[in-house]
Amino acid sequence: MPEDLRGARILVVDDEKLIRESLVECLATEGFEAAGAASGEEGVELAEKRAFDIVLCDMQLPGISGIETLERLLRIDSSLMVLLMTAYGTVETAVAAFQRGAQDYLMKPILLDELFAKLRRLLEQRAIRLENQALRLQLRQMEKAEGLAALVGSGPAMRALKALLSRVGPTRSTVLIQGESGTGKELAARALHELGERKRDPEGRRPGRFLAINCAAIPADLLENQLFGHRKGAFTGADRDQPGIFTHAGPGTVFLDEIAEMPFATQAKLLRAIEEKEVLPVGATELVKVEARILAATNKNLVDEVAAGRFREDLFYRLNIVSITMTPLRERREDISELAVFLLARHCREQGRPFTGISREAMRFLISAQWKGNVRELDNVLERAVILGDGPNVEMVDLPPDLREAEDDPNAVEGLVEAVRRFEKRHLERMLALCSDDFGVHDKKEAARRLGIALSSLYRRMGELGIGGANG
């Protein structure tokens, strides 16, 4: 067993003695600190006395169920990683487990290779979570202090956005957030939630939750179940009542991302939730009152969707009481340098890498890039640079080749000499790559032949353009 897993504290909760004791013995043999519990109650009691990193918990337990055991364990220690075990896996049980905070699940009979792979992944997630706890706390405090700190930028578009959020946030109005993918629609929704919570519950006596759901990522038959819940017996495997996200959010906020992908039939139920503040769980005969504020987002034009008959017109008007449009990153280039430095610092802390900044050449490139994926793409590019780069600064070589080779931005201001130089450098780099063996060693003589220039001229231009390998 790898050293990164040894010494981890594992609690096994399973009423089947043979399975429980076999797992505990196997884990102990592999270097874990393992303990067993025969019921949910016994597991909770052990967790109150001892600290654990991961809990392996059976879904079917005598007394309190695996789901209830999961909830009680997380109330004791919210950083616990819970891996549920079941021999009767259904979509309904998996949905319920993940809604309540489980990180993963295992099907019985348990394969040890699969078990150890999942344990390793969960322990890595836990380590990252604990290492960055202070940073997350600091970021939450910044958001509470200013309300909009997660939205980085000080240009005209961002200032206008923050002003609008500040006006709308303290209300309970529904809001439609529109914009391309990666522009920060969920960040804007979270800012609205934070501002609304401070107005609704300034002393924090009855906090509401922010719950987000991506309507495009969940199959249509599961989406209603997730949103509105279900009653026992509503479908095969529904052995208990299950509240939906609207109920779980309490007086907080439900954020419906990719709202244009919501099935037409579900849209009618959402309309009732907005207008009447009540929902009908799947299989229920009585309506349930809900309090949550509803925010929605889309990267599509809902006016066009309404015209095409794919989206209800009455729902559109109920959602569109206040409309917020997120500006694409390429249209607020004045924010890119500030945003890039912020994202770089965050990734340095998360990855434990000592980068100090971004070179002038790399920063100029970041500012002029097209950013079709918006802030999300910039974030991914900088995370990659921090992981793969040598530092201390992010250099051009640390940026993804496909980004560097992307079509030039027509809005970027660039002199003819610089443009020709950059084209020539890129062309030479491509030719050298084409004339390389499996180990990345360049055949410069062949490259010079294909380029139609002398080998000495190739070496000279490589040196002038700063291409590696110019000395031999």
Cα atoms in the 13 Å half-sphere on the side-chain side of 63? 13
The CA distance from 335 to 367, in Å, is 9
Which residue has better confidence, 454 or 234?
454
Residue 115 corresponds to which tokens in the numbers above? 């078990």
- Res 341 pLDDT > 70: yes
Rounded Cα gap, residues 321 and 289, in angstroms? 22
Check residues 393 and 89 and name the one with the higher pLDDT. Answer: 393
CB 249 within 8 A of CB 193: no
Alpha-carbon span 430 to 321, nearest angstrom: 52
Q: Which residue has the higher pLDDT, 288 or 201?
A: 288
Is the domain spanning 147-325 CATH 2.40.400.10? The answer is no
- How far is 348 from 132, CA to CA, in rounded Å? 11
pLDDT tens per residue across span 414-464 = 566 676 777 788 778 778 777 765 445 678 888 888 888 888 888 888 888
The phi and psi torsions of 461 (rounded to 5 degrees) equal -70, -35
What H or E segment, with its residue span, contains residue 190?
helix 185-200
Q: What value does the mean pLDDT take over residues 193-220?
A: 85
Report the alpha-carbon distance of residue 302 to residue 311 in Å, rounded: 7
**Lowest mean per-residue pLDDT among 128-142, 336-350, 376-390, 426-440:** 128-142
Torsion of CA 173, 178, 182, 187, to 10 degrees: -10
Residue 274 pLDDT class (50, 70, 90 cuts)? very high
Q: Do 215 and 256 contact (CB within 8 A), yes or no?
A: yes
Find all residues with CB under 8 Å of 126, minimum gap 6, and list them.
53, 54, 79, 81
SS3 state at 255:
strand
On average, the pLDDT of the chain sits at 84
pLDDT tens per residue, range 166-190: 999 999 999 999 999 999 999 999 9
> What is the architecture, at CATH level 2, of domain 330-404?
Orthogonal Bundle (1.10)
How far apart (Å, rounded) are the C-alpha atoms in residues 259 and 185? 12
- The reported pTM is 0.56
Q: Tell me which CATH code domain 9-131 carries.
A: 3.40.50.2300
Percent of the chain's residues with pLDDT above 70: 87
3-state DSSP assignment of residue 389: coil
Q: Please give the average per-residue pLDDT across 208-217, as a whole number.
A: 92
* Three-state DSSP class for residue 12: strand
Q: How far apart are CA 207 and CA 279, in angstroms?
A: 21
Starting from the edge strand earliest in sequence, which strands make up the sheet with 175-178, in order?
Answer: 210-214, 253-257, 293-298, 175-178, 322-325
Pairing of strands 229-230, 242-243: antiparallel
Q: What's the rounded Cα separation, in Å, for the pair 278 and 66? A: 29
- Quote the tokens at residue 331: 């249209």
